[in-house]
Structure 1
Amino acid sequence: MTSNPLVPDYELEDTIELTTAEQVKAISDPLRTSILQLLHERAATVTELAAAVKRPKSTVAHHVNVLADAGLLRVVRTRRVRAIEERYYGRAARMFYYGLGRSTGLVDFNDFEVAARESVGAYDAGQLRSFIRHARIPDERVAEFWKQVQELIHDFDKLPRSGDTTYGFTVGVYPVNDYPTLPPRADETS
């Protein structure tokens, strides 16, 4: 284990483009999305993931296998526990994407209801580009991050208007109650 403060605690690619229907289907399930989000923090076993999402190990193991078969998760290390080899899973990349590189425009950043309604047509046409990320961070870091977001919003607002299509651009940072978290590592509790 290194003393590197970067998360997660294993090597991974920066981005991977989703190029198959299997990958898109794998990433579209809410439980699998939660598993991927948890693994942004550190590698985890099926047992740890099951505890975090409060689901049976067999259910979580199934979803981990779907993600691994799609190339989105991999075993990043193992540990011998009695007669069993425990697998620690990690993401294949920090970010998975498809269709990256499209331009976006501005919608009032506090009006997610409008953005959700406006984006239905783009979603149906396969043109919606979005990401959601979760991170346990202190309030001071949220404030610093939001200042950067505001600069981006102002930069976007200053773009010369041209082209035939209006685009929506929505951002937000918000606390999430009852989001699953991994239990402490086994080596941290002893």
Structure 2
Amino acid sequence: MTTPDDPGHSADRVHIESDEQLRAVASHMRHRILRVLRDGPATITQVAERLGIAKGSSNHHIKVLAKAGLVHVVETRKIGGVTEQYYAMTGKTIELPETGAGQHEVLMRHALTDIESAPPSDQKNVFLKHARLSPQAWDQFNERLTALLTELNELSDPTQPAADLFVAFYRPKDV
């Protein structure tokens, strides 16, 4: 398990290294919970309300994420006779190991599910573009794409509504 003191963890990144961590991020519901916690700490009840799920389900999934070292308690408050624990992500970014041939890109599958379930909006664009590129054109475009992703990260404002960018730039297996 990765914890804040492990080499696989920094303030910015959690490197997924164990089967337990892979199973934790493989769940679409836990992916959605991490999205909520990305915006800031929340209690089990707050997560359940934001996602429209049962408190028991929220509790179960947060405990799995905590056991895997992906979230942790950052604050405890006593309200009346109840103690509330606020959970947060242990790092800003979760990095998956490289996948082998035939393995699924789990976070991309979650993103596709999110795209499919997003309500119709004028703030939703989905594109698929095919191109034939030389190695040099590939490198140039990839550099520009990386710069654009860096720019998007710099524009991020946690007080504004969430927006996701799903990018997969790859060479398909030609038939």
Aligned to 1:17: 15
**TM-score, length-normalised on structure 2?**
0.54
Q: Give the letter aligned to residue 39 of structure 1.
A: L
Matches of 2:77 and 2:15 in 1, distance apart? 30
Matches of 1:129 and 1:29 in 2, distance apart? 9
Matches of 2:106 and 2:26 in 1, distance apart? 14
**TM-score, length-normalised on structure 1?**
0.50
Aligned CA distance change for structure 1 residues 95 and 54 (closer, same or farther; 3 Å): same
The structure 2 residue matched to 1:124, chosen from 86, 89, 102, is: 102
- Structure 1 stretches of 4+ with a deviation exceeding 3 A read 128-132
Q: Which runs of 5+ in 2 are unaligned?
A: 1-9, 115-135, 153-160, 162-175
Aligned to 1:40: 38
The structure 2 residue matched to 1:77, chosen from 75, 78, 83, is: 75
Aligned to 2:137: 157
- Alpha-carbon deviation of 1:129? 8.8
| Number of equivalenced pairs | 112
Identity of aligned residues (%): 25
1:131-181 residue CA offsets vs partner (Å, 9 max, x unmatched): 65x9xxxxxxxxxxxxxxxxxxxxx83638xxxxxxxx9x999xxxxxxx9
The structure 2 residue matched to 1:50, chosen from 41, 48, 53, is: 48
Aligned CA distance change for structure 1 residues 125 and 59 (closer, same or farther; 3 Å): closer
Aligned CA distance change for structure 1 residues 79 and 97 (closer, same or farther; 3 Å): same
- Alpha-carbon deviation of 1:78? 1.1
- Alpha-carbon deviation of 1:84? 1.6
The structure 2 residue matched to 1:94, chosen from 89, 92, 95, is: 92
Q: RMSD across aligned C-alpha pairs, in angstroms?
A: 3.5
Is contact 1:26–1:67 with CA below 8 Å preserved after alignment? yes
Matches of 1:87 and 1:129 in 2, distance apart? 29
Q: Which runs of 5+ in 1 are unaligned?
A: 1-11, 103-121, 135-155, 161-168, 174-180, 182-190
- Alpha-carbon deviation of 1:14? 0.3
Aligned CA distance change for structure 1 residues 44 and 24 (closer, same or farther; 3 Å): same
- Alpha-carbon deviation of 1:16? 1.1
| Aligned partner of residue 92 in structure 2, secondary structure | strand
Is contact 1:79–1:86 with CA below 8 Å preserved after alignment? yes
| Aligned partner of residue 19 in structure 1, secondary structure | coil
Aligned CA distance change for structure 1 residues 125 and 64 (closer, same or farther; 3 Å): closer
- Alpha-carbon deviation of 1:99? 3.1
Is contact 1:50–1:56 with CA below 8 Å preserved after alignment? yes
Matches of 1:97 and 1:32 in 2, distance apart? 15
